[in-house]
Amino acid sequence: MLEFNKDNFSQEVLECKGLVLVDFWSPKCEPCMELMPEVEKLAEEFKDKVKFGKVNIVENRRLAIGQKVLGLPTIIMYKDGEKVWELTKDFTVEDLKTHIQEVL
């Protein structure tokens, strides 16, 4: 998974053609830390169809606020730079996989 931050987010996500999944997380967020290995598995499974990356909101607070991330964990799917869907807080890995498959 790629590391997105304030310096590369616009180029890697907003200006990107195709699908980009962004995992907004924090090292202090236990659900985020539990979810991350599962997201990394999905990144491997869908690597030919979706670009996967993550944003540490502690280091990129303004970026997270700019993307209207209000709770953690939050995963947002972008298509051609536009937000397609967002999952926040109470969701399962199965929910995430279903959402990914729906936009392919």
Mean pLDDT of 80-94: 96
**Mean model confidence pLDDT for the chain:** 97
Look at the chain and report how many structural domains it folds into. 1
44: left (phi over 0), alpha (psi -120 to 50) or beta: alpha
- Residue 68 confidence (pLDDT): 97
- Residue 19 confidence (pLDDT): 98
Residue pair 60/53 in contact by the 8 Å Cβ criterion:
no
Q: Which residue from 99, 103, 104 is spatially nearest to 86, judged by alpha carbons?
A: 99
Q: Which residues are catalytic?
A: 29, 32
Q: Is the pTM of this model over 0.95?
A: yes
Tell me which residue range forms the domain holding 22: 2-103
Q: Which residue from 44, 43, 62 is spatially nearest to 53, judged by alpha carbons?
A: 43
Question: Could you report the per-residue pLDDT of 5-43, keeping only the tens digit for each?
Answer: 999 999 999 999 999 999 999 999 999 999 999 999 999
The CA distance from 75 to 81, in Å, is 15
- CATH number, domain at 75? 3.40.30.10
* Strand duo 74-79 + 19-25: pairing: antiparallel
